[in-house]
Structure 1
Amino acid sequence: MAKNIEQPVVLPSKLANHDVKFKVYLPDGYKDDSDERYPIFYTTAGGSRINVLKEQLAWLSHVGFGALPKVIIVTVPYIEIETDMEPKYISASGINSDLTIEVLNQEVMPYINKHFKTHPFNILEGFSSSGNFPLYVLANKPELFNAYISVSPALALDKSGLLAKFDNRLASPDYKNKSLYLSLGSFTSNAPLFEGLEKKLNQYAHNNLTWHTEDFRTDNYMTGPMVGVSKAVQKLFSDRSPSDMTQFKASGVKGVEVYYDNLKAKYGYELSSINTLMDLSDMQIEDSKYTDAIKTLKLVVNQSPENAYYLTRLAKAQLAAKKNRAAKQTYNKALILAKAKGDDESIQFIQNKLKVLKL
């Protein structure tokens, strides 16, 4: 599992009139001198929950076909205000939410984008009494984030008229390419408010906001964030690797290229199509379209020329097409890469394949 690198940040805030503190967790493999960039996962989690969350996100992203890409995690700073209210109720009430939004928008997010290798795709997540904040931002400044995750929000504790803020707004073009995941926890006082928001989503959000709700009221409250976050990111990023490959049966590589061009409009950056191209090649081989499969896999190899595995997949397709000489050349290229990386398992696999080829 990936291990996140923790970087505490103390940032003087002119807006809050005090230093704001937050933490940045960098994903495994993050390098300042690399061209690779990452979406940002802003979270209200703190205390013991942040430890669980960072490991959960690391697990969900540690392989290319995981539920989400690797992300930079940033904790949302707590903005101090003068009040006698208990901290957990402050978060739920919304009384410091406007100021928190401005601090994020004008100070924290520019700092993150300046000092770290970021993609222009921002996620905001919150649970329980802090789960109201993602909804508050979505209602008041939806352009600030691309995706919102609100797990078991304490809607009954809100003092800001939060749900009324959504009235007649959800059909606005401000919600185009925005996503919401919302779940209901086990506290019964939140149920009518949750159902009211669901009704508004059903009424207004057909053409713009993409949303999904879950009902966890029969589950233990403390399982909510683990189950909810996993389901939320799975829903959010499921289109990175489409499961229905039949949509590309006729269009082939060109169809995949068009599909990922459309994804770029949602995410704001170019996503890798390699996993989908690999799935496309499998379908082409199953349909005995070996020439098409070889062309598809050569495109994959050109995108990742240092990956021995992709070369072995190309060689397999060449063998299926009875192109044994080409397959042998491809396996030899893969063997050179595997030896350079000291990958003993791949070396053994490729050498066994070469022994079978009699040329």
Structure 2
Amino acid sequence: MDLQLIAIKIFRVLFIFVSLLPISIYAKGIEIGDKQVLESKILGEEREYFISLPTSYNQNNYSSYPVLYLLDGDMNSFFQVFSGMVNQMSVDASPTIPEMIVVGIVSQNRVRDSSPTHPLIQYGGTKNEALHITGGADKFIQFIKEELIPKINQNYRTSAYKVLVGYSFAGLPVIQSLYTTPETFNAYLAIDPSMWWDDQHMLKQLSHFYQSPKLNKRRLFVATTTRVTEVYPKEN
């Protein structure tokens, strides 16, 4: 299967389930993933993450798997939904995607880690001093690239193909990663990203990004809704 199509195929089903949250799908006695902790020198703090392995992972010792890195990936939120759907879509009688390792990165300070710039203006145009913590997306991306990904590659049988997924405000570091470190991931899924941020800062970077050398087989899938029509032109 052409792994370049992973992002679109995953999203077609996952977006439906994301829109249904917050539906509780806890099931006692069922192990969904393994919780781990990484001491980050880049962030200066411990970071929690969850690991979900493919069904066939422990059935052999030679297969390698692509990895889906999920932001906002704590156990009580998106991790259960994404890992469950990835498993279902990959082991069905007619699988639509390859089996994948899912890494859910817990949101420890969502506003700080997701924001690529440091404004004090919130949605709606009013000033909010609580936004003084913003602007940490680049450091967060560096943590994923230089500490988390090598850790996952060291401990698990991973292939070279990687996908980064983020929803709403966590969609901003997905696009920022594509802008600044496009070599890190093969596919980027930004689900209803907060493109209003900092006077549409991310959208304004597009023209400069398009002038960069042509990317080699990188994919960006952006899903939007009509709730922010002033940000997205109608023809898009």
Contact 2:172–2:195 at 8 Å: present in 1 too? yes
Instruction: State the Cα distance separating 1:164 from its structure 2 match.
Output: 2.4
Give the whole-Å Cα distance in 1 for the aligned partners of 2:49 and 2:112.
Answer: 18
Deviations 1:88-112 (A, max 9, x none): x445533221011110111000000
**Compared CA separation, residues 69 and 155, structure 1 to 2 (3 A):** same
RMSD: 2.6
Q: 1:76, CA displacement in angstroms?
A: 2.6
Matches of 1:159 and 1:21, distance apart in 2: 32
Residues of 2 paired with 1:137 and 1:105: CA distance?
10
Q: Where does the alignment leave 5 or more consecutive residues of structure 1 unmatched?
A: 81-86, 199-214, 216-359
Give the match for residue 74 of structure 1: 103
**Pairing partner for 1:12 from 21, 34, 39:** 39
> 1:243-290: per-residue Cα shift (whole Å, max 9, x none)?
xxxxxxxxxxxxxxxxxxxxxxxxxxxxxxxxxxxxxxxxxxxxxxxx
- 1:175 corresponds to: 215
Aligned residues between the structures:
187
CA contact under 8 A between 2:36 and 2:49: conserved in structure 1?
yes
Look up the match of 2:83.
54
Q: Is 2:173 aligned against 1:127?
A: no
Counterpart residue type for residue 102 of structure 1: Q
Identity %, equivalent residues: 23
User: Hey, what does 1:35 align to over in structure 2?
Assistant: 62
Q: Residue type of the partner of 2:62?
A: D
Q: Is this contact kept in 2: 1:142–1:174, CA < 8 A?
A: no
User: Where does residue 107 of structure 1 map in the other structure?
Assistant: 147
Q: Secondary structure at the match of 1:176?
A: coil
TM-score of the two chains, using structure 2 as the length reference? 0.70
Q: What TM-score do the two structures reach when normalised by structure 1?
A: 0.47
CA contact (8 A) 2:64 2:157 kept: yes
More helix by share: 1
- Residues 1:32 and 1:164: Cα distance change in structure 2 (over 3 Å): farther
Match of 1:145 in 2: 185
**CA positional deviation for 1:55:** 1.1
* Greater length-normalized contact order (CA 8 Å, ≥ 6 residues apart): 2
Q: CA deviation at 1:48?
A: 2.7
Greater strand proportion: 2
Retained in 2: the 8 A contact 1:5–1:26? no
* Residues in 2 aligned to 1:169 and 1:151: alpha-carbon distance in whole angstroms: 20
